Amino acid sequence: MKFFKDLNQSEKLEFFNSFDLVFCDCDGVIWQNLHDALPGSADAVNHLIKLGKKIAFVTNNSLIPCELQLEKFSKININIEKHHFIHPAQSIADYLESLKFDGLILCFGSPAFKTYLQDRGFQLVEGCDGLVGNSIIELRNAIYSTDMVKAVVMDVEFNCTAWKLMRAQMHLKDPECLLVAGAADPKVPFGPGAFIKVLEEATERKAIVLGKPGFGLKDTLLEKFNIQHKNRVLFIGDSLKSDVQFGKMCGFQTMLVLTGATKLRDLEQFAHQNDETGPDIVAESLKDIIHLV
């Protein structure tokens, strides 16, 4: 693990010449507070593009519609093609299409996430977003549905309820019912990572995870970008688990920036407590790349 500021010019040039494709996280790398651009982030991205590097963005954020995400980038003069913006709803829809899936989905997700799946032609169970009464009869009727659900899809849902998880468990007793997950961030307080584990333990099944840091997303990226030489790819992120360890699982080089989820004290604690290797390069922020060459 090296700190970018400690590299001499020769080492910086060697690092820059070691990758051709860049996968970049968004929140905590490009954006702060989900909306405001971090100083210098746009200049850094455009610097990489100008110098011939290919760049794509990989986010776990399906809370904001893709069109609005691309608008945000455009406003800070980063112009990217839609297929170079990878998010969980897209990855899941692509996966289901590859299976020629044609069934009913019980979906845990934001309104934008659900709308995206519906726009791609998938049918979702309706009426699962409210509360049930206190009677056992109402709870039983909510859990034991006659809907022929063929997939349970889980992403970020702020109004996730116990009865909906129970219903998912019932559907997943059918071995042909898929369990598919998007964002699986382990550090988001009671985020999707925790609920995915609840369902996995309750059903004794493993989810197909198509968001970071899932193995399914690894296969998606390798195929989608026709990656032949994994060591020529750089993954940039702000999370040790969702970005750095995911990138290493994929066989990519990794860069951690300290403008988001991970601070210097977190990195020091990680190095002290873990045998796993940390990021290849640590930078204060993405704008440090401007001085790469």
Which residue numbers are catalytic? 25, 27
Task: Please check if 275 is assigned to a binding site.
Answer: no
| Residue closest to 178 by CA, chosen among 82, 275, 101 | 101
Alpha carbons 23 and 85: distance in angstroms, whole number: 10
Tokens, residue 25: 């996280």
| Residue closest to 284 by CA, chosen among 44, 13, 92 | 44
Task: Please check if 27 is assigned to a binding site.
Answer: yes
Task: Please check if 238 is assigned to a binding site.
Answer: yes
H or E element: which one contains 234?
strand 233-237
Alpha carbons 284 and 293: distance in angstroms, whole number: 17
C-alpha distance from residue 245 to each of 25, 93, 151, 278 (Å): 13, 25, 28, 8
DSSP letter, residue 57: E
| Residue closest to 263 by CA, chosen among 240, 236, 234 | 240
Beta bridge partners of 124: 105
Give the list of residues 6+ apart from residue 248 with CB closer than 8 angstroms, or none.
254, 277
CB-CB contact of 29 with 41 (8 Å): yes
Task: Please check if 102 is assigned to a binding site.
Answer: no
Q: Annotated binding site: which residue ranges?
A: 25, 27, 212, 238
- Residue ranges of the annotated binding site for substrate are 212
- Residues making up the annotated binding site for Mg(2+) are 25, 27, 238
